[in-house]
Amino acid sequence: MNDQSLAIILAAGEGTRMKSKRPKVLHEIGGRSMLGHVLAAVQQAGVSNIVVVIGPDRDDVAAEIARVAPTASTVVQRERLGTAHAVLHAREALARGPKSVVVLFGDTPLVEAETISRLLRAVDSAGAAALGFEADDPTGYGRLIMDGTELVAIREHKDATAEQRAITFCNGGLMALEGRHALAILEQIGNDNAQREYYLPDAIEVARRMGLSCAALKADGAEVLGVNDRVQLAAAEAHYQKRLRERHMRNGVTMQSPETVFLSHDTVIGPDVTIKANVVIGPGVSIESGTTIHAFSHLEGATIGADASVGPFARLRPGSALEAKVKVGNFVEIKASRLGVDAKASHLSYIGDSEIGAGANIGAGTITCNYDGFSKFRTVVGEGAFIGSNSSLVAPVKIGAGAFVGSGSVIVSDVAPGALAVARGRQVEKPGWAAAFTKANGKQSRK
């Protein structure tokens, strides 16, 4: 059904209340831009015909659209004369006669695909449909004026009568129009108001004057939350995180303290994964079943196999790949590295640009010296190798399978399989030196 529909997304607002050089719609929630969320929801609803209305000189917004929805087109709104005026910038697409049209906003990021589909289905039998919500405090919101099940008007708060202001069913902004009449409805919207602007909500009264019926659908207030400043951005983030946590927990993930776990829009977590308190999961993370992520760990751009253990206080940076049963312990940082099955790095280590073989053990305090100030180099540790504590592996270097590296070594050359490498200064002891030194300096004790 929806492949014959048109989605128009309004994203030309300057967002001055954000106090930011970045366009409002590019501010992120759950690791994805607000506009990206809307584009994704539209595509998940089966709508591929998408027009996004953007402001002038907004190459950054256009680039985000191309990245998230490559088939979408953009049109530029240079004058801002109201929401209906913005929608009419998609006149060419409207004139092609889509089956239905849905209008969304780039700063209303939490709308779900099913809600978009509901709106589109509503105009199968109505000229227009608006999305509303019940507000605890309706002050400032437009009111949906109903006559039984028929929507008869949307009245802005400032224009509403005292009786209408008592209505708690409020305008959520999103609207759908029946495709055959959409352009005619939009063209008849006037600007006879204090701001001299063309308002999309007036489409309801225009549609009724044309003899068309209008419907109102209800959504949760959080789903239609608009973001105009950083406070509302934080509120939207909180709602979105709650949604993500509940979704994953219902799919078999245990969260010890859910309110302290932060996820990303693309986080993939298998069943029987346990996530302890104060864990942050950035974009690009997948975790297979049976794994435990311990407290205060930070993951981004990482894949983690089954039955692994990460943390506490571990950091996995982009390009990290942990295979099954890997253990990454406290204060270990991994970057652009693969750890084979049952490999271990249990304490206080940095592993960067490396390949760690299955069953290898990385001792406490080990670091891979992967950067010489200009270029990055790789370290390869073979299967079953044992790297002693406080070792430095100076890349490029290979440690053979089953080899041992003595604690405190600085390894600058390859180590053969099965060999022992020790690279540290020989210990020298001088009996009586300390007492003589102390006496010569006139001290009985050191403080």
Amino acid at 263: L
Work out the pLDDT band at 194, boundaries 50, 70, 90. Answer: confident
CA distances from 189 to 83, 164, 185, 360 (A): 11, 22, 7, 70
Helix (H) or strand (E) holding 176: strand 169-178
For residue 251, how many other CB atoms are within 10 A of its CB? 11
What's the chain's Rg over C-alpha atoms?
Answer: 30
Identify the DSSP state of 241.
H
Active site residues: 347
Give the pLDDT confidence score for residue 91 in this predicted structure.
Answer: 97
DSSP for 52-112, written as a single string: EEE-TT-HHHHHHHHHH-TT-EEEE--S---HHHHHGGGHHHHHT--SEEEEEETT-TT--
Range with lowest mean pLDDT among 49-58, 97-106, 190-199, 296-305: 190-199
Percentage of the chain exceeding pLDDT 70 = 99
- Give the residue-averaged pLDDT of 265-272: 98
Instruction: List the structure tokens of 144.
Output: 């949906």
pLDDT one-digit tens code per residue, 131-171: 999 999 999 899 999 999 999 999 988 888 999 999 999 99
pLDDT of residue 444: 54
Q: What is the pLDDT of residue 441?
A: 86
Token pair listed for 200? 């999309």
Q: Which domains does the chain have, with CATH numbers?
A: 2-224 (3.90.550.10), 252-421 (2.160.10.10)
Q: Residue 106: which residues within 8 A CB-CB, separation 6 or more?
A: 9, 10, 11, 13, 24, 25, 34, 35, 38, 52
Calculate mean pLDDT across residues 18-36. 96
Phi first, then psi, for residue 176 (nearest 5°) are -120, 150
